[in-house]
A and B are shown apart, each in its own frame.
Chain A
Amino acid sequence: AQSVAQPEDQVNVAEGNPLTVKCTYSVSGNPYLFWYVQYPNRGLQFLLKYITGDNLVKGSYGFEAEFNKSQTSFHLKKPSALVSDSALYFCAVRDMMNRDDKIIFGKGTRLHILP
């Protein structure tokens, strides 16, 4: 069975500092990995994905994520945080061995960027 964990409920970062939002996963086969962001009263927006290839994936709004197979992690990063990055971030995983397309989401990490 696939699962994903976001160990931090909340992350606080000062504006201009680098940010990291952590995610670890568990799958039987190879993973598809995703990051989504949710702003207040909005649906989830796709940020980036890892399927195969380069372990560093670049996405929207200057975000990137690093896939680490040995640590089963897919942490979201940004070199310089903006106040507008404050939102709820979800990591998600799909197991490539599964016949269905079900994606499992983590519980979310609330990111606060302090001005």
Chain B
Amino acid sequence: DSGVTQTPKHLITATGQRVTLRCSPRSGDLSVYWYQQSLDQGLQFLIQYYNGEERAKGNILERFSAQQFPDLHSELNLSSLELGDSALYFCASSVTRGEQFFGPGTRLTVL
């Protein structure tokens, strides 16, 4: 158990809908990262937050957004969902510049 928790484990929704994925980092970790893993694209870095502020941005679509709250948990919001958004979404946390510890992921299925 990495200490990073993600909810929900599974999410099934329809095209055009909006969902929110939640992540709680390990105790003491200030950085939260979001990744998308799909069969054809591998593991894609989406965005990083550090102590509530955006630190780095990767291949995140404009339909997607994230935030980190004062208690350091983070949410990833995915809107106007398309079939191609079906994937595993992982959250990871770390201390500054340390290795990242991954949550168990949320499997999103868009029908």
Contact = CB atoms under 8 A, between A and B. Distances in A.
A102 B2 contact: no
A46 B94 CA distance: 11
Contact of B55 (A34, A90, A101): A101
Q: Report whether over half of chain A's contact residues are helix, strand or loop; otherwise say mixed.
A: strand
B52 interface: no
B35 to A, nearest CB: 8
Contacts of A43: 2, 4, 90, 102-105
Nearest to B95: A101
Contacts of A42: 104-105
A100 B55 contact: yes
B64 interface: no
Contacts of B48: 100-102
25 contacts: A32-B97, A36-B102, A42-B104, A43-B4, A43-B90, A43-B103, A43-B104, A44-B92, A44-B102, A45-B2, A46-B101, A49-B99, A90-B43, A100-B55, A101-B33, A101-B48, A101-B50, A101-B55, A101-B56, A103-B100, A104-B45, A105-B35, A105-B43, A105-B45, A108-B43
Q: Which 9 A-B pairs have the closest CB atoms?
A: A100-B56, A43-B102, A44-B102, A107-B42, A102-B56, A105-B43, A43-B104, A46-B99, A100-B55
